Chain A
Amino acid sequence: MPPTAPLGEFEQIVLLAILRVGENAYGVTVRAEIAACTDREPAPGALYTTLDRLEAKGLVTSRLGDPTPQRGGRAKRYFTVTSAGVAAVTRAQLAYQRLLKGLKFPEVVHA
């Protein structure tokens, strides 16, 4: 499988959040996971456009769940990271780790 274009920072965050949430990954839970792990709440618009982009790149797939009354009868759109998505986020994280290797951060050393 040919490698995809490099991932942006937010794309990596979204992929990792979907992987962390697992089977129940839809807009609300992914946003909540990102907010809990990064202390920043992504704008809904940014999240949905990123999810659409990741799906267009073949890094995630989506399926519609059953409609629920508390959502006004609208179905949830569940996301799953594909094997290409796992490979892409792994490559990106390994690149970060290589960049960090050998660097010393005073705040971390003296903590």
Chain B
Amino acid sequence: MRNAATAEWILSLVSDNAASTVGDLVEESSSRGALWFWASVLRTVCSHLWRDLSASPLRMVGLAFWGLAASVLAGVGLAMPLLLANLNLRDSNWQIPLVNVVICTAGPLLGGWSVARRSNGRELPAAFAVSALEAVLQVSIGPPDPGTNYGFTKLCVFSLFVIAGAVVRRIFGARMEARHRWTRYLG
């Protein structure tokens, strides 16, 4: 069942026993329907997220700071050449929107990737912790550009890209692991 495979993959981001859990939900959903199945998957993911965040809060705070720092450094690092180019071409401002795009997308993506590398199979809670820290900082020190009302939208975009970065890292990690297994097997 394709849906169950997707659900198993999503659950594997937060649990070591995703297959048996999804098996239970598949078994029960035969009498309860697809809506119940997906609602249960979502609630199970939320429960595991909360468990991981609350079980080791210090580690999650550390990962959150690491992820945020990585996304800021990566965003600034990637945008710097464009900013420098903009200084040389004073009559052209085409770089500014590009700088914004780089800072708002590539930075969080790399931040998510970086935090996922350090999360030991708990990519989703770690990415969630980074987004939560960003939200706390936005509320406590205000949005980076006062006068605009884009704070919430920017937070959503940031969170989406951090989570996407963590998920992409998971996919690459699984592929690299599979390749390593094959190399060992053939070797």
Contact = CB atoms under 8 A, between A and B. Distances in A.
A71 B43 contact: no
Given A44-B44, A45-B44, A72 B30 contact: no
A46 B44 CA distance: 7
Interface string B15-44: 101011111111110100000000010011
Interface in A47-92: 48-49, 52-53, 62, 64, 67-68, 70-72, 74-77
Interface of B is mostly: helix
A95 interface: no
Nearest to B52: A49
A31 B31 CA distance: 15
B26 A74 contact: yes
B20 A76 contact: yes
B25 A44 contact: yes
A94 interface: no
B17 A77 contact: yes
A45 B39 CA distance: 10
Interface string B116-148: 000000000000000000000000000000000
B45 interface: yes
B20 A43 contact: no
Contact of A45 (B4, B26, B30, B45): B45
Residue among B23, B27, B50 with the most chain A CB within 10 A?
Answer: B23
For chain B, the bracket of interface size reads: 20 to 34
Nearest to A43: B43
Contacts of A72: 1, 4-5, 22-23, 26
A81 B24 CA distance: 20
Contacts of B20: 26-27, 64, 74-77
Contacts of B21: 27, 44, 48, 77
A20 to B, nearest CB: 18
B51 A49 contact: yes
A4 B43 CA distance: 29
A70 B15 CA distance: 22
Nearest to A55: B17
Nearest to A71: B23
B4 A28 contact: no
Contacts of B5: 72
Interface in A6-31: 26-28, 31
Count chain A CB atoms within 10 A of each CB in B24, B25, B27, B50 and give the residue with the most.
B24
22 contacts: A27-B20, A27-B24, A31-B28, A44-B24, A44-B40, A45-B44, A45-B46, A48-B17, A48-B47, A49-B48, A49-B51, A53-B51, A62-B17, A70-B27, A70-B30, A71-B24, A72-B1, A72-B4, A72-B22, A74-B4, A74-B8, A77-B21
Leading 6 A-B pairs by shortest Cβ distance? A45-B47, A74-B23, A27-B24, A77-B20, A71-B23, A45-B44
